[in-house]
Amino acid sequence: MAPENPAPTFRGVVDSRYIDHMGHMNVQYYVHLFDQATWVLFDRAGLSASYFSATGCGMAALEQHIFYKREVFAGTIITIYTQVLAISDKTVRFVHTMEDGQGPVATCELVGAHFDRAAHRAVPFPPDARAGFQRHQTPPL
């Protein structure tokens, strides 16, 4: 069952170094912060750094789509919430929503593949990871 109020996968303050010449957060830092949230999701699903080290597996981004809704400025406290949209044997599709306390400022939808780093090919998720992702899954549309 999907969480009604998903737990945050990232919370932090927009650093002044993230600001570009236009006065708002540069796109590279949206990607950076969404990536931080991604690794928290993977860890919660059981795909931790120790798992990757022990198994020789990894994750690879296959798709990433960012939608910018409002500008974000230095000092803004942001929270990212993540929900899994779909899980297959070897891939997971999920969406991050970045909020500033007044609503969404950006979303990022991604597809990631579980793969064997030595063989350079996608491999099935272990059952525990599938169950971990299912805990963050939204209801089917």
Assess if residue 140 is contained within a domain: no
Assigned domain for 125 exists: yes
**pLDDT value at position 136?**
86
Backbone torsions φ then ψ of 75, nearest 5 degrees: 90, -10
Show the domain range for 111.
8-134
Does any domain span residue 68?
yes
Alpha helices in the chain (DSSP H): 27-44, 49-55, 127-134
Number of structural domains in the chain = 1
Residue 110 lies inside a defined structural domain of this protein: yes
Note the pLDDT of residue 137: 87
Q: What is the pLDDT of residue 4?
A: 54
CA-to-CA separations, 76 to 13, 14, 134, in angstroms, rounded = 6, 5, 31
Extract the residue ranges of the chain whose pLDDT is less than 70: 1-5, 139-141
What is the per-residue pLDDT across 57-91, written as a single tens digit (0 to 9) for each? Answer: 999 999 999 999 999 999 999 999 999 999 999 99
What CATH number is attached to the domain comprising 97? 3.10.129.10
